């Protein structure tokens, strides 16, 4: 199915730049409602086209399935300016998302939204879902992670392998000297500059409450983590272990995408991400919509 793309400026201050991708529906389907609209936005400072243009690939893929999307820059990111009277950052970004949803709702006559949030975008997506009931599904990529016993041991083992015996000995010596007050603590380049991860993770109990609230409202949640974050998420079982016994756990889906790095740099990682999204959409999201919601 072909599609049409249009770049627009939206928002009260006309400060948000957004690109709408609309599938060109065949005449036989003209006038039918769309099942939902997809929202795609920034990951950190990466513009609205997404990490390695993933949002563009996703928008085109959704269009083939007859699903429209909007990819947009949040205030102060990519091409979007800050509004004339800005709110605190996260509140502003939630407002931005809602302004885009208002526009898309009018454009497509559809009030159901799915958001794909990469990294900091996942932070925005789950908070948006708590404030706006139009969000009915969210894919959260490399969002908050919390250490477990196994993840900590795995990371320590990785560091031992990286440092070697001599490196470990030096490290232990340094720690001992620091403890004895004979040396100042040092910060290694690695720990000073870890790969980008979502900022300010909330307390785990707080996040669990939020996720439960979303699930109770019927929001379909899919979590996925890349291989490339060994210091904070490093094995398949960690997700279940992090949220052990949480009631929402049996209602959400999860995939550890071992073939992917955080930014989906390699083409096989992009292909795997696209396939995972497609599977979640078709198996968990679309069947969950009310029958009269479906196109």
Partner 1 sequence: MALLVPQRMGPPWREAIGLLQHPPEPSAQRHAFLLARPMGLAATRSASMYRVLSDRLVRTGASVMRFDYHGTGDSPGEEGDQSLADWSRDVEEAQSGLLHAASPHHTDWFGMGLGANLMLQAALRVPSPPRRLVLWEPIDDGPAHLQALLVAHRREMVMQLAQPWDDLIAQGLVREPRVPGVVLGFHIGAQLNNDLQNLPALTDWLPLAAQRGMDVTVCATESSLNRWSRDLPTSVHGRLQWVPLQTATHWMSSEAMGAAVVPPEIHRILEVLTR
Which chain residues interact with partner 1 by CB under 8 A?
5, 7-9, 13-15, 17, 19, 44-49, 51-53, 56, 71, 77-79, 81, 84, 119-120, 158, 162, 193, 195-197, 199, 227-228, 230-231, 258-259, 261-268
Q: How far is CA 28 from CA 25, 31, 34, in A?
A: 8, 9, 14
Residues contacting 24, CB < 8 A, separation 6+ = 1, 2, 3, 4
Mapped onto helix, strand or coil, the DSSP state of residue 85 is coil
Minimum Å gap between C-beta 83 and partner 1 is 8
**Length of the chain, in residues:** 295
CB 112 to partner 1: min, Å: 25
- Give 17 or 125: the residue with its C-beta nearer to partner 1: 17
Smallest separation, CB 255 to partner 1 (Å): 16
Pairing of strands 220-226, 37-40: unpaired
288 within 8 A of 282, measured Cβ to Cβ? no
| 3-class secondary structure per residue, 202-271 | CCHHHHHHHHHHHHHCCCEEEEEEECCCCCCCCCCCHHHHHCCCCHHHHHCEEEEECCCCCCCCCHHHHH
Nearer Cβ to partner 1 (127/214): 127
Nearer to partner 1, 66 or 230 (CB): 230
Query: Minimal distance in Å, beta carbon 93 to partner 1?
Result: 15
Query: Would you say 119 or 137 has its CB closer to partner 1?
Result: 119
Of the two residues 136 and 269, which places its CB atom closer to partner 1 in the complex? 269
For partner 1, the closer of residues 19 and 220 by Cβ is: 19
103 vs 68: CA distance, rounded Å: 13
């Amino acid at each position: 199915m072909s599609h049409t793309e249009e770049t627009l400026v939206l928002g009260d201050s006309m400060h948000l730049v957004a690109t709408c991708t609309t599938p060109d529906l065949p005449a036989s389907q003209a006038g039918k409602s769309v099942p939902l609209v997809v929202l795609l936005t920034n990951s950190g400072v990466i513009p609205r086209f997404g990490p390695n243009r993933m949002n563009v690939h996703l928008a085109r893929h959704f269009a083939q399935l007859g699903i429209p999307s909007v990819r947009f820059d949040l205030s102060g990111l990519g091409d979007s300016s800050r509004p004339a009277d800005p709110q605190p950052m996260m509140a502003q970004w939630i407002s931005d998302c809602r302004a885009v949803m208002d526009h898309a709702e009018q454009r497509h006559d559809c009030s159901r939204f799915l958001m794909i949030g990469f990294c900091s975008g996942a932070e925005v997506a789950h908070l948006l879902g708590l404030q706006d009931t139009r969000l009915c599904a969210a894919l959260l990529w490399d969002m908050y992670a919390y250490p477990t016993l196994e993840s900590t041991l795995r990371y320590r083992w990785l560091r031992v392998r990286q440092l070697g015996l001599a490196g470990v000995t030096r490290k232990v010596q340094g720690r001992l000297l620091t403890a004895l007050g004979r040396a100042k603590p040092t910060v290694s380049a690695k720990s000073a500059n870890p790969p980008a991860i979502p900022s300010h993770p909330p307390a785990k109990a707080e996040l669990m409450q939020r996720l439960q609230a979303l699930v109770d409202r019927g929001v379909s949640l899919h979590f996925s983590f890349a291989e490339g974050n060994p210091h904070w998420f490093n094995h398949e079982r960690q997700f279940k272990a992090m949220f052990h016994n949480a009631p929402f756990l049996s209602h959400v889906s999860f995939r550890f995408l071992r073939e992917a790095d955080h930014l989906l740099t390699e083409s096989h990682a992009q292909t795997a991400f696209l396939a995972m999204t497609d599977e979640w959409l078709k198996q968990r999201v679309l069947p969950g919509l009310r029958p009269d919601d479906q196109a």
